Amino acid sequence: MKRIIAFVLIFVLLFAGCSAEGKPEENKSPTEETAFVLEEELFPKLVIESVEEQEDFVLVKTSYGVLKYPFAFSDILKCYPMTYEDSAKMEFCAEINGDEYTVFCIVFGESEGIFLGTAEIGEAKTDVYAEFYSPEGIEDDGVLKTFYATQECFNDISVSLFENPGFVFEA
């Protein structure tokens, strides 16, 4: 009789353990809902819609607005959009002698670098900053001069930011 009771108790404990393991699976729905909510809260995606030449400038039309820089840098300056959970940035790189060097970034939604103003991204006003990078590891004087010349394209790009509707310069 004791064996039967022990067997029943073991069976009940095992059954209770299995049913406890089933409970986390029931909790998958809130996790999926949380993932869905997070997906909705992602920063609006920054994409390059087109790149075209207009007179002496290259116009980079993005989902956030138009950026422009001198056509003379069209073979050197490359831009890469990146979207994160709560921010986005457009990274500008100089391609010099087959190597790429990040020269600066326009950052939307984070507070790093130099404050430029606010932009309407989606339905919200978003802070816009600029980050500049050092020419680390560049020893060749010609490459260094090209790096700094490319970095000066920021002036044209910042002016083009101000030309976009919804961008407000704040000093």
Extract the tokens encoding 15: 């059954």
For residue range 122-166, what is the model confidence (pLDDT) as tens digits? 888 999 999 999 998 898 999 999 999 999 999 999 999 999 998
The whole-number pLDDT of residue 111 equals 86
93/80 Cα distance (integer angstroms):
8
Find, among 82, 110, 100, the residue nearest to 146 by Cα: 100
Mean pLDDT of all residues in the chain? Answer: 81
The whole-number pLDDT of residue 31 equals 40
Binning pLDDT at 50, 70 and 90, where does residue 2 land?
very low
pTM: 0.74
Instruction: Give the H/E segment covering residue 120.
Output: strand 114-121
Extract the tokens encoding 148: 């700094």
Q: How many CB atoms lie within 10 A of CB 11?
A: 10
Which residues fall within 8 angstroms of residue 63, CB to CB, at 6 or more apart? 44, 45, 46, 47, 49
CB 79 within 8 A of CB 92: yes
The whole-number pLDDT of residue 171 equals 60
Return the exposure string of 110-144: e unless at least 16 CB atoms fall within 10 Å of the residue's CB, then b: beebeebbbbebeeeebbbbbbebebeebeeeebe
Confidence check: pLDDT of 34 > 80: no
For residue range 73-111, what is the model confidence (pLDDT) as tens digits? 999 999 999 999 999 999 999 999 999 999 999 999 988
